[in-house]
Amino acid sequence: MKYLGLMSGTSLDGVDLALCRFEDGRFVVEKAETVPYASDWERRLREATTLSGLELIRLDRALGTYLGRLCADFVEEEPGPVLIASHGHTVFHEPRQGMTLQIGHGPSLRAAAARPVVYDFRSADVALGGQGAPLVPVADRDLFGAYDACLNLGGFANVTLTQVVPMVAFDICPCNTVLNDLANQLGLPYDSEGAIAASGRAIAELLEALNADAYFAQPPPKSLGREFVAERVAPLLEAFADADVADLLRTYTEHLAGQLVRAISPKVAGGRLLVTGGGALNTFLVNRMRAMLPGAAVEVPGRAIVDFKEAIAFAYLGYLYQRGLPGNIPSVTGASGAAVLGTYCP
């Protein structure tokens, strides 16, 4: 059996697909691809939080069909059995209210892909009082346990402290969600290698305000969604709307690097830190982290792991589902117990 991990991140870079095999704590990525969202899909997903209930249901079904067609094309020449493990696309994530929503309707995906699907991975954990996030730590533990910490720099930055007992993982702060939004103001999809941020100057007042948010002092388990950006980050940036975008990018990058190091440094001093996700290609951000963590080995792996680690992790969650094994770690999410994650559409 092969497992096709499917991930659509909050940064709206596109859909990651990774076809994997798993055996005895090892994995092989047979092929992987990122399919960028066309401008219309990016717009529709960005506006999803503003839709009526009926419109959101329609978008959910349409996205499921779209994802299913991507999967069908991706594994068209794969003769053996494939289980699709789809994260979907997060629209709402408010676990304190017992709510998380990832659209990309499983039955519609199944119909278009003509392959079995496991989807809706977060709801079971939230129903048990957990954050429903992060879910990658089970793969960090089982597949990347040689590292002291695994840091993912996607739409949001999250970390797994693999050597802490009981294991701890949590969302640290918004990452590419904010950096890309700022780069968009310059007509760019992102700040390549952090070059624009490197050319700017940090705005001390804004940096202090960003760092003062109470979230950063909260102990884990904790997680973030776009609501945090809209309610607590965007207003601070808007107060400096007249500033040079390069200065805003530099300020947010300094904030981001500082919060990443603050969250990680007590546990990985002198250890190994794996950095993946699109932000791992932000050379300026990674170098700022290295400067703040002089005793640690901050390692950026090859592109297959950098770009597809989350898709690999959801493929692994599909593997665990099929074996009836828990996909959450209660010490990580705060759930009252372990749970087999996902809903199956045969």
DSSP 212: T
* Average pLDDT of span 87-110: 96
Residue bearing the bigger pLDDT, 25 or 228? 228
Parallel, antiparallel, or unpaired: how do β-strands 99-103 and 117-119 relate? unpaired
Return the pLDDT at 268. Answer: 80
pLDDT confidence band for 141 (50 / 70 / 90) = very high
Is the predicted pLDDT of residue 11 greater than 90, yes or no? no
Residue bearing the bigger pLDDT, 169 or 266? 169
Return the pLDDT at 9. Answer: 81
Contact yes or no for 130/221 (Cβ under 8 A) = yes
Contact yes or no for 92/100 (Cβ under 8 A) = yes
Those residues whose C-beta lies under 8 Å from the C-beta of residue 324, and which sit 6 or more positions away, are: 340
Residue with tokens 């990674």: 286
| Mean of pLDDT over the chain | 95
Return the pLDDT at 234. Answer: 97
pLDDT confidence band for 46 (50 / 70 / 90) = very high
Residues 310, 160: Cα–Cα separation, whole Å: 13
Is the predicted pLDDT of residue 12 greater than 90, yes or no? no
Return the pLDDT at 25. Answer: 80
Return the pLDDT at 10. Answer: 77
Q: What are 207-231's pLDDT values in tens digits? A: 999 999 999 999 998 989 888 999 9
Parallel, antiparallel, or unpaired: how do β-strands 15-23 and 99-103 relate? unpaired
* Average pLDDT of span 18-22: 97
pLDDT confidence band for 322 (50 / 70 / 90) = very high
Please state whether the predicted TM-score (pTM) of the whole model is above 0.85: yes
Q: What are 248-299's pLDDT values in tens digits? A: 999 999 999 999 999 988 778 789 999 999 999 999 999 999 999 988 999 9
Task: Spell out the domains of the chain, with CATH numbers in brackets.
Answer: 2-131+308-345 (3.30.420.40), 137-304 (3.30.420.40)
Residues 115, 109: Cα–Cα separation, whole Å: 9
| pLDDT cut 90: percent of the chain above it | 86
Return the pLDDT at 74. Answer: 97
Is the predicted pLDDT of residue 102 greater than 90, yes or no? yes
* Average pLDDT of span 93-98: 92
Is the predicted pLDDT of residue 31 greater than 90, yes or no? yes
Closest CA to 17 of 101, 113, 133: 113
Those residues whose C-beta lies under 8 Å from the C-beta of residue 74, and which sit 6 or more positions away, are: 4, 17, 19, 31, 33
Residue bearing the bigger pLDDT, 179 or 164? 179
Is the predicted pLDDT of residue 18 greater than 90, yes or no? yes
| Torsion angle of C-alpha atoms 159, 160, 164, 170, degrees rounded to 10 | 60
Residues 191, 27: Cα–Cα separation, whole Å: 32
